[in-house]
């Protein structure tokens, strides 16, 4: 079986997709060098309508297989060069199913310098080691029988005592590196091992924030339970505590179990003569080699699983944020709130073009309320502003209140003012992209421009910011950075191509995410557009330097040209389908431009079974959908959202009261909700609905509007516990709510109880620390 065939079978088994479909996808991705968005949208007839998630899973399985086979090949070649590759060892290496099994087989050979056991083997002590493992003779009896044979041995083994010790070095390494033993114990560890975390003695001096890990000072949970994705945040919290030298994290497994297996595999009934020495050898093999190896392996696997869960959650939240409702082409004032330094004001027109900026001082110490309101009134009038977007950071709510109470057109309802997340705006303002766009502007002004633009079109603006800085992740600095980068870039790529891009207005960062284009070619497109005044049709992009026919195939369907020469250029219909549609229009005595706007013609096309057979069912459905809704932006339009106006700080909240809010972040254990004050509240997974919710990700999404009730407030730590339940279980009276706590999902461990009330199993703030660490 060839490598390619084996890879296809492996990917099919891993993804539970039939091998023929897997082969088709891999041919498109690898042989034809197609992108995932292109394959998902324009090769549905080949893939059977697979979505991007399935296609990426196939590709990842293929890459994992190739990585494993490259490692297998390297190990075989390395041992062969050492002239130590026996037929039996080669057979075992070729039969290994996992990377761990391969590494077990390679472990004895990859030391940078020769081990004691290897030196002993070179000195000719393997026969003595073999004898010790099967003999009933004691050490003294062996010395009498074999003592004289070691006088002529080289190296340091010049006496029987040294030879005996050397033989045991061989035995220890035989036990330590036996693949079968390691594999059996690996399964036992995953079945029975416990992860324990404790506070280090010098934690107070090593980490000033050591108390935030208090819930893990005496924590233990079975490794197999921590491998559950729902528990991933716990291990990441422990690992961060370990990195900061606050926590000591160990894998606990009964020593008797490991030693028992070694005795079973290496002790024969007749070797009682050296039993005590063999027992000591087994203990050294287990404690010095096997246990540390499996300890590291389990921690690594838990880290990998936790990383994958955290990255997946991050990706889901990021997608919701990127695809949240958009305002569209309307003039906007962007406000970056400030106190002493004032509020930075910018104006962008309906295309997102920056027009002007200024600073107002409506807050202390200047308190120029009337002057600031007059400036905003004048700006609204002069630039025909329809919306005001205010960053939701420090003094955001106070700035919103000032505008609502003092700006004329906001007061009468003709101009909308709203808070929006400013996460990542400061990162953008100091970036190379921002400096290139606005080289003569202060970073605070650039940040205000970002706030205004992201209000108009979140996707177009947020692509300029490192996804890690957007504020919807958990432990983003602790997970595997390469995997995180790859995953988040895949999410952004998916969203950009899902929505489509206006070729004549898109920025270089946005174009760079279009299927097949990339950063360098995006800059070439921008330069061509600036020099030639925009594109008149899709095929004109082939005149851009280095824009090949292959790239055109991958990118064209996602690039829009509105009101251009070709009517289909404003739709998701790929240029490769223009000819067949032109032929259909000709046969039906009409033109393409009429087909787009004429409902009767579209209905006629929709009933044409011959045309459907010609292009394929999936493509046919997509064509009809595009003709019915040419722009096809999947996002909903922005709708104004208002927080309760009687609150501005945590002390204004009342237990038992209901408040409108927006979901800002989602984790495995619940969601964080912005109810209009600085602190976000925690809506635990057990409080999301009157019906059971196992995973918050399935019930909520970032940006979703939700009405929540305050259950509990911890003023000292700035924590708010919320519920969305409507039934009696979720409602607390004002009299009893401050001392009560909401129920938790049963999967929440007792060890995760918040410090404030350690005797309670159902603490309202359990899980909150996992995001705040």
Mean pLDDT (whole number) for 237-262: 93
Residue 734 has pLDDT above 60, yes or no: no
Contact 315, 468 (CB under 8 A): no
Mean pLDDT (whole number) for 249-261: 94
Mean pLDDT (whole number) for 529-537: 92
Say what the pLDDT of residue 677 is. 84
Residues facing 719 on adjacent strands: 714
From CA 528, how far away is CA 542, in angstroms rounded?
A: 11
Which of 452, 447, 467, 448 lies closest to 509, judged by CA? 467
Least confident of 65-69, 200-204, 596-600, 726-730: 726-730
Residue 1 has pLDDT above 70, yes or no: no
pLDDT in tens, 84-114: 899 999 999 999 999 989 999 998 888 768 8
Which of 283, 331, 291 lies closest to 452, judged by CA? 331
Q: What angle do CA 373, 705, 330 make, to 5 degrees?
A: 45
As a residue count, the chain comes to 773
From CA 484, how far away is CA 471, in angstroms rounded?
A: 14
Contact 297, 155 (CB under 8 A): no
From CA 471, how far away is CA 663, in angstroms rounded?
A: 12
Contact 724, 683 (CB under 8 A): yes
What is the residue whose two structure tokens read 């557009």?
A: 529
User: By CB neighbour count within 10 A (0-12 exposed, 13-18 middle, 19+ buried), where does 491 fall?
Assistant: buried
From CA 581, how far away is CA 148, in angstroms rounded?
A: 95
From CA 99, how far away is CA 77, in angstroms rounded?
A: 16
What is the residue whose two structure tokens read 């889901």?
A: 316
Say what the pLDDT of residue 729 is. 43
Say what the pLDDT of residue 767 is. 33
- Model confidence at 36, pLDDT cuts 50, 70, 90, reads very high
pLDDT in tens, 333-343: 999 999 889 99
417, containing H or E segment: strand 416-420
Q: What angle do CA 731, 737, 743 make, to 5 degrees?
A: 65
Q: What angle do CA 245, 250, 255 make, to 5 degrees?
A: 150
Say what the pLDDT of residue 210 is. 86
Longest dimension (CA), the chain: 109
Q: What angle do CA 32, 38, 43 make, to 5 degrees?
A: 75
User: By CB neighbour count within 10 A (0-12 exposed, 13-18 middle, 19+ buried), where does 731 fall?
Assistant: middle
Residues facing 251 on adjacent strands: 195
Question: Looking at the whole model, is its pTM more than 0.85?
Answer: no
What is the residue whose two structure tokens read 């050979």?
A: 109
- The residues, any chain, with a CB within 8 Å of residue 174's CB and separated by 6 or more, are 117, 129, 266
């Amino acid at each position: 079986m060839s490598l390619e065939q084996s890879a296809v079978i492996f990917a099919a088994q891993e993804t539970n997709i039939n091998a023929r479909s897997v082969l088709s996808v891999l041919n498109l991705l690898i042989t034809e060098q197609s992108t995932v968005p292109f394959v998902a949208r324009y090769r549905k007839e080949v893939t059977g309508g697979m979505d991007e998630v399935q296609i990426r899973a196939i590709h990842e399985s293929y890459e994992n297989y190739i990585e494993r086979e490259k490692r297998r090949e390297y190990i075989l070649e390395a041992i062969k060069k050492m002239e130590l590759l026996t037929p039996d060892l080669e057979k075992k290496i070729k039969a290994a199913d996992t990377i761990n099994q391969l590494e077990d087989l390679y472990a004895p050979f990859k030391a940078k310098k020769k081990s004691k056991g290897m030196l002993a083997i070179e000195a000719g002590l393997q026969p003595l080691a073999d004898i010790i493992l099967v003999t009933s003779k004691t050490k003294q009896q062996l010395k009498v029988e074999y003592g004289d044979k070691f006088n002529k041995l080289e190296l340091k083994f010049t006496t029987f005592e040294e030879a005996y010790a050397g033989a045991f070095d061989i035995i220890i390494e035989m036990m330590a590196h036996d693949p079968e033993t390691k594999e059996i114990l690996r399964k036992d560890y995953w079945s029975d091992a416990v992860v324990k975390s404790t506070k280090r003695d010098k934690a107070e001096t090593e980490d000033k924030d050591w108390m935030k890990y208090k819930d893990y000072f005496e924590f233990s949970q079975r490794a197999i339970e921590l491998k559950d994705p729902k528990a991933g945040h716990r291990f990441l919290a422990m690992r961060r505590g370990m990195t900061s030298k606050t926590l000591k994290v160990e894998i606990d497994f009964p020593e008797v179990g490991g030693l028992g297996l070694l005795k079973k595999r290496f002790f024969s009934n007749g070797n009682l003569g050296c039993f005590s020495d063999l027992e000591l050898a087994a203990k050294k093999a287990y404690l010095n080699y096997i246990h540390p190896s499996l300890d590291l392996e389990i921690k690594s696997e838990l880290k990998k699983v936790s990383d994958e869960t955290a990255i997946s959650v991050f990706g889901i939240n990021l997608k919701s944020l990127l695809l949240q409702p958009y305002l569209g082409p309307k003039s906007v004032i962007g406000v970056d709130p400030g106190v002493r330094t004032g509020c930075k004001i910018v104006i962008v027109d309906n295309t997102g073009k920056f027009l002007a900026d200024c600073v107002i001082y409506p807050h202390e110490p200047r308190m120029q309320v009337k002057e600031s309101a007059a400036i905003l009134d004048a700006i609204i009038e002069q630039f025909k502003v329809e919306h005001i977007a205010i960053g939701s950071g420090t003094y955001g709510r106070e700035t919103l209140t000032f505008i609502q109470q003092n700006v004329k057109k906001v007061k009468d309802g003709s101009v909308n003012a709203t808070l929006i997340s400013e996460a990542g705006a400061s990162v953008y303002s100091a970036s190379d992209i921002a400096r290139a766009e606005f080289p003569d502007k202060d970073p605070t002004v650039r940040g205000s421009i970002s706030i205004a633009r992201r209000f108009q079109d979140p996707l177009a603006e947020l692509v300029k910011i490192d996804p890690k800085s957007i504020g919807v992740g958990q432990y983003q600095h602790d997970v595997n950075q390469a995997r995180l980068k790859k995953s988040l870039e895949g999410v952004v790529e998916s969203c950009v191509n899902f929505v489509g891009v206006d070729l004549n207005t898109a920025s270089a960062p946005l174009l760079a995410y279009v299927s097949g284009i990339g950063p360098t070619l995006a800059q070439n497109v921008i330069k061509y557009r600036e020099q030639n005044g925009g594109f008149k049709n899709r095929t004109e992009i082939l005149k851009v330097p280095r824009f090949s026919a292959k790239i055109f195939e991958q990118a064209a369907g996602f690039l829009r040209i509105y009101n251009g020469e070709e009517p289909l250029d404003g739709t998701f219909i790929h240029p490769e389908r223009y000819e067949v549609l032109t032929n259909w229009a000709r046969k039906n005595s009409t033109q393409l431009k009429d087909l787009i706007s004429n409902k009767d013609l579209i209905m006629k096309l929709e009933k044409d079974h011959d045309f459907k057979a010609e292009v394929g069912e999936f493509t046919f459905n997509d064509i009809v959908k595009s003709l019915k809704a040419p722009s096809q932006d999947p996002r909903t339009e922005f709708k104004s959202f208002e927080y309760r106006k009687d609150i501005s700080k945590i002390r204004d909240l009342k237990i038992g009261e209901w408040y409108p809010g927006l979901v800002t972040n989602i984790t495995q254990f619940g969601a964080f909700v912005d109810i209009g004050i600085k602190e976000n509240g925690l809506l635990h997974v057990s409080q999301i609905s009157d019906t059971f919710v196992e995973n918050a990700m399935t019930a909520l999404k970032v940006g979703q509007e939700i009405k929540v009730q305050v259950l509990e407030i911890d003023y000292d730590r700035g924590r708010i516990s919320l519920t969305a339940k409507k039934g009696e279980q979720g409602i607390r009276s004002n009299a009893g709510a401050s001392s009560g706590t909401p129920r938790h999902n049963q999967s929440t461990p007792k060890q995760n109880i918040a410090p404030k009330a350690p005797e309670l199993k159902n603490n309202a703030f359990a899980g909150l620390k996992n995001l705040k660490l």
